[in-house]
Amino acid sequence: MPDDGKPDGRLIDTRSSVRPLDERRLAVLRAIVQDYVGTEEPVGSKALVERHNLGVSPATVRNDMAALEEDGFIHQPHTSAGRIPTDKGYRLFVDRLAEVKPMTAPERRAIRHFLEGAVDLDDVVARTVRLLAQLTRQVAVVQYPSLTRSTVRHIELVSLTPTKLMLVLITNTGRVEQRMVDCPGPVGESLLAELRARLNGTAGGCRLPEVPTLLEDLPTGFEPADRPSVSTVLTVLFETLAEQNEERIMLAGTANLTRFGHDFPLSIRPVLEALEEQVVLLRLLGETGDSAMTVRIGHENAYEGLNSTSVVSVGYGSGDQSVAKLGVIGPTRMDYPGTMGAVRAVARYVGQILAES
């Protein structure tokens, strides 16, 4: 929704002749967002001029607030209360008023050090998600490196019974997938060795989605009697490759949901429900751009249960390619610059760690 996503465009363009006013209004909005994020309470004109040196009186700020409200950036819970940013207000804030807050050097060192201690892929993901939850004090989500972008490191076939095989697929990201294969006929050691060698010879090092086309004609190279078994193995292998659903996700920091709001069970429940639905989470992350950071605010989230939350997510990868996504889920009233900084930093370092191992 590029139209909806930049509601500020209109405002800035049409009034660009009256620049100083707009500047100040934006400053007011920025101040409101910052204060509200800090206090969780509607912020009034007086408090605003006290805390930020805007150089004008409360009355003036009130006028600006009225204008901002008319344009839908802020909102008043009731007549005699302060203002709260709307989703649209946060959107403007994120797009034009906020700068991603970089991590400090000690923080960066700590992140790196913590992630370097990981022993295997599971551990990398586990550490990443915990770290992210801790840094942002919100709910963190990390997707396992996806199969689609990775390459085949090795395919192994293990004979369990004469007709039963186990197929093990190892990717360059360290991920391992295994499947049982029930062959139509017995599979001898020599056939197994031959098949293993051909599979690895042809597909080794290739990107997973390309594998099926590469191996399509493989059965024709075998004795007619063996072909059914070879085909079965291939079918299972292709299934494994295609099984996007198997994309796993790890969560952490759900306890931070308790810091969500005052109107409790109602606000937290749908979020907890969403978090349990892998599908929802996967789709959420799936909407993330590959390299650019994505921020979805409140109702911008397709899933209804997350309408009062914001999602900050970004892709990460070993090397230049993004192989998976990670992100953070928190209340719309969150510290966007800080959260975005943490998400970006963590994504960068996980990428490095993955590239090294």
Residues in the site for DNA, rule: CB under 7 A?
A: 18, 20-21, 24, 42-47, 55-60, 62-63, 65-66, 69, 76, 78-83
Taking the CA atoms of residue 342, residue 343, residue 345 and residue 350 in that order, the dihedral angle to the nearest 10 degrees is 130
> 214 touches which of a second copy, DNA, none (CB within 5 to 8 A by kind)?
none
The DSSP bridge pattern shows strands 176-182 and 164-171 to be antiparallel
CB of 58 to DNA, least distance (A): 7
DSSP code of 118? -
Distance, in Å, from the CA atom of 91 to the CA atom of 192, rounded to the nearest integer, reads 58
Kindly tell me which of 76 and 307 has the beta carbon lying closer to DNA: 76
* Residue of 48, 25, 54, 24 lying closest to 36 (CA atoms): 48
Q: Which stretch binds a second copy (CB under 8 A): 13-21, 34-42, 216-224, 271-279?
A: 271-279
Instruction: For residue 206, state whether it binds a second copy (rule: CB under 8 A).
Output: no
**Minimum CB–partner distance for residue 56 and DNA (Å):** 3
CB distance 328 to 322 below 8 Å: no
Q: Which does 116 bind (CB under 5 to 8 A by kind): a second copy, DNA, none?
A: none
Assess 268 for contact with a second copy (CB under 8 A): yes
Spatial CA neighbour of 64 closest among 86, 78, 44, 94: 44
Write the interaction track for a second copy spanning residues 273-292; mark x where CB under 8 A is met and - where it is not.
x-xx----------------
Q: Quick one: which of 109, 111, 119, 113 has its CA closest to 357?
A: 119
Which is nearer to a second copy, 314 or 346 (by Cβ)? 346
Q: By CB under 8 A, which span of 57-65, 267-275, 316-324, 344-352 interacts with a second copy? A: 267-275
Tokens of 116: 């370097």
Q: Which residues contact 21 (CB under 8 A, 6 or more apart)?
A: 15
DSSP reduced 3-state for 23: helix
Q: Which does 42 bind (CB under 5 to 8 A by kind): DNA, a second copy, none?
A: DNA
Separation of CA 127 from chain center: 16
Report d(CA 63, CA 71) in Å as an integer: 13
Answer yes or no whether residue 202 interacts with a second copy by CB under 8 A.
no
Q: Tell me which amino acid residue 338 is.
A: G
Distance of closest approach, residue 64 Cβ to DNA, in angstroms = 8
179 interface partner picked from a second copy, DNA, none, CB below 5 to 8 A per type:
a second copy
CB of 122 to a second copy, least distance (A): 8
Task: Look up tokens 């197929």; give the residue.
Answer: 167
Which of 170, 206, 280, 293 touches a second copy (CB under 8 A)?
Answer: 170
Given the complex with a second copy, which of 67 and 268 has the nearer CB atom?
268
DSSP letters spanning 97-109 = I----PPPHHHHH
CB of 259 to a second copy, least distance (A): 8
105-116 vs 336-356: helix axis angle to the nearest 10?
40
Show the binding pattern over residues 119-158: x = contacts a second copy (CB under 8 A), - = does not: -x--------------------------------xx-x-x
Query: In angstroms, how far apart are the furthest CA atoms of the chain?
Result: 90
Least Å from the CB of residue 274 to a second copy: 9
Least separation in angstroms between residue 32's CB and a second copy is 26
| Under rule CB under 8 A, residue 293 binds a second copy | no
Q: Which is nearer to DNA, 83 or 137 (CB)?
A: 83
228 burial via Cβ count (<10 Å: 0-12, 13-18, 19+) = middle
Find the helix or strand (DSSP H, E) in which 141 lies.
strand 139-143
Q: Which residues of this chain interact with a second copy, rule CB under 8 A?
A: 120, 153-154, 156, 158, 160, 166, 168, 170, 176, 178-180, 252-255, 257-259, 264-265, 268-269, 272-273, 275-276
